[in-house]
Amino acid sequence: MHQSQNIGSMKTDDIKQIWKSANTDETVGKQYSLKEIQEYRKKKSRQFSQSGKRIIYFDMGFKGLLVLALLYLITFQVAEPVYQQIIVVLISVTAILLGMNFIYLKKLEKIKETDAVMNNLKNQLHYFKNTYRNFIINSSFSNPIFVVTGFFFYFQFKYHEIRMGTPWEDPVLYLFLLAAFIISLGAQWANYRNELKELTEAIKDLDDESIASLKIEEHRMSRRRNLFMYTILIVLGMLVLLYFLL
Amino acid sequence: MTKPMSEIAFEQLVYENQAVLIKVCNIFCKIQADKDDLFQEITINLWKGLPSFQGNSKLSTWIYRVSLNTAISKSQRKRKNLIRYTERLPEHNGLISNEDAVDEEQIQMLYAGIERLKPVEKALILLYLEEHSYSEIGDIMGISEKNAGVKLHRIKRKLEKILQPCTNLKTSEA
């Protein structure tokens, strides 16, 4: 007599039994040799924190090249004081943005794979919400700076002077600048929203209360921010009032 | 102060504990190339995270944390590439013989069912199937013991429901 039991009522005990059978030395699958493990250890990571680092490094390299190009222009090419001042401003802005990238890198290092899963997810979410968003805006400025530097080079080498009109006289350059910023920001923002959504969902899947507490924390932060802004506005308003009264 | 582990000692440690890594890879990836990628990624993260391992937690807890963090992050980023949701579960004749021999088909069916779970659910069910206590699961996942129990109860029901279509056949006697 051959008797069989129903897999249909596959309860957790059955699942455990199948799991055990699937994970014996013979059935668990490919075993890795010491040599393979050694090779894997030496390879470079493609994990988020590493790819995130690479994106920041790339942007830093890009901005570094732009600073060098602008320095070349101001040192050897551009003689008009107005454009020299514009280039100095551009160099300063790019250098500040470059410096901010170091802060983003430092903060990224706080995400550790050795933390408990929930803490790791929360740290990632915190980084995404508070740092990565700023990085996206920061890196989106690289493209318009690249475009304006390109235009400066073009004008300088073609006409031996920079010919930049106002946005009303010559809107092409300004439209290019705007497009460069919007396209870069838009593309990165869409990706950012997706990743943010997936992270939030993962935390919610693990602990509903965490999302609630994160929202409360966000609300508190926003209240503190608003309070700070209103205080500054009130102080400024009073100073202006005092200026006119005295 | 603890002495840093040598590269050789680390490789030996991964070699001896590779069963954990392989199980994580099996549950998060379907094809061998993806499994190899994930195994490599976990090895790198274990190596990078080694200095922060103080010995406060159990070695297995630390390995599970790094492995699951890596797998969850990777599956979130590369969901389309890494996880290939099957339209239908593999068909099965619905019978488990009394000889306790669980065949390949049933294993495939279980993996296909688990494949339909969300990344964190996969992590939780893996720890459960590996017979970790709720307290250990909570420790690895960073949630309370009670929450681990509640979540696991829901996931088990969900998994049973997923596997339900394969269960229409009644007990048979031959």
Contact A28 B147 (CB under 8 A): no
Report the domain count for chain B: 2
Question: Which chain A residues are closer than 8 Å to B96 by Cβ?
Answer: 4-5, 7, 14
At A182 the pLDDT is 93
- In the predicted model, is pLDDT for residue A50 greater than 80? no
B43 shares a domain with B1: yes
A32–B100 C-beta distance less than 8 A: no
**Greater model confidence, A20 or B61:** B61
Question: What does the pLDDT read at residue A229?
Answer: 84
Query: Which chain B residue shows the shortest CA-CA distance from A208?
Result: B147
Q: Which chain B positions have a beta carbon within 8 Å of A201's beta carbon?
A: 118
Q: Is A58 a residue whose pLDDT tops 60?
A: yes
- Which of A6, A21, A45 is closest, CB to CB, to B44? A45
Greatest mean pLDDT among A66-70, A174-178, B11-15, B104-108? A66-70
Closest residue on chain A to B145 (Cα): A207
Q: For residue A149, is pLDDT > 80?
A: yes
B103 and B131, same domain (yes or no): yes
Asked if residue B172 is part of any domain, the answer here is no
> Which of chain A's residues have a Cβ under 8 Å away from the Cβ of B47?
41
Q: What is the pLDDT of residue A246?
A: 67
> What is the pLDDT, as a whole number, of residue B88?
47
pLDDT digits (tens, 9 = 90+) for B44-96: 988 888 887 766 678 888 899 999 999 998 887 665 444 444 444 444 444 44
H helices within chain A, ranges in order?
12-22, 34-42, 48-72, 81-108, 117-127, 133-140, 142-159, 171-206, 208-245
Q: How confident is the model at residue A225 (pLDDT cuts 50, 70, 90)?
A: confident
Same domain membership, residue B79 and residue B42: yes
Residues B42 and B77 in one domain: yes
Give the angle subtended at the CA of B59 by the CAs of B117 and B114, to the nearest 5°.
Answer: 10
Domain-located, residue B90:
no
Domain, as residue range, for B69: 1-84
> Tokens for A178?
């705007």
Least confident range of A142-146, A174-178, B122-126: A174-178
Instruction: Give the pLDDT band of residue A94 (cuts 50, 70, 90).
Output: very high
HSE-CB of A209 using CA atoms within 13 angstroms? 7
Same domain, B32 and B53: yes
Q: For residue B74, what is the domain's CATH number?
A: 1.10.1740.10
Q: What is the pLDDT of residue A48?
A: 56
Q: ipTM of this complex > 0.90?
A: no
Residue among B133, B113, B23, B129 nearest B68 (CA)? B23
Backbone angles phi, psi at B173, to 5 degrees: -125, 130
- pLDDT of B171: 31
Looking at the predicted structure, is the pLDDT value of residue A56 above 50?
A: yes
Q: Which of A57-71, A113-127, B87-101 has the lowest mean pLDDT?
A: B87-101
Highest mean pLDDT among A211-225, B45-59, B146-160: B146-160
Lowest mean pLDDT among A53-62, A137-146, A214-223, B78-87: B78-87
Rounded CA separation B40/B24 (Å):
12
Kindly give, in sequence order, each residue whose CB lies less than 8 Å from that of residue A199, ignoring residues fewer than 6 positions away: A121, A124, A125, A128, B76
- CA of A197, closest CA in chain B: separation in Å? 10
Q: For residues A156 and A73, is the Cβ–Cβ distance under 8 A?
A: yes
Say what percent of chain A tops pLDDT 70: 85
Mutation target to probe the A interface, by most A beta carbons within 10 A, among B102, B107, B132, B162 is B102
pLDDT of res. A45: 58
**C-alpha torsion A168→A171→A177→A181, nearest 10:** 80
Average predicted confidence (pLDDT) for chain B: 78
CB–CB of A6 and B48 under 8 A? no
pLDDT of residue A195: 85
pLDDT > 70: percent of chain B = 74
**pLDDT tens readout for residues B3-24:** 567 888 888 888 888 888 999 9
Q: Which of B84, B110, B131 is the last residue of a domain?
A: B84
Q: Cβ contact (<8 Å) for B77 and A202?
A: no
* Residue B111, domain CATH: 1.10.10.10
Question: Would you say residue B174 lies in a domain?
Answer: no
pLDDT band at B1; cut points 50, 70, 90: very low
Report chain A's mean pLDDT, rounded to a whole number.
82
CA distance B130 to A91: 57
Asked whether residue B47 falls in the same domain as residue B78, the answer is: yes
Regarding predicted confidence, which is higher, A29 or A21?
Answer: A21
Q: What is the pLDDT of residue A212?
A: 65
Measure in Å the smallest separation between the Cα of B74 and chain A Cα atoms. Answer: 7
Say yes or no: B79 and B19 in one domain. Answer: yes
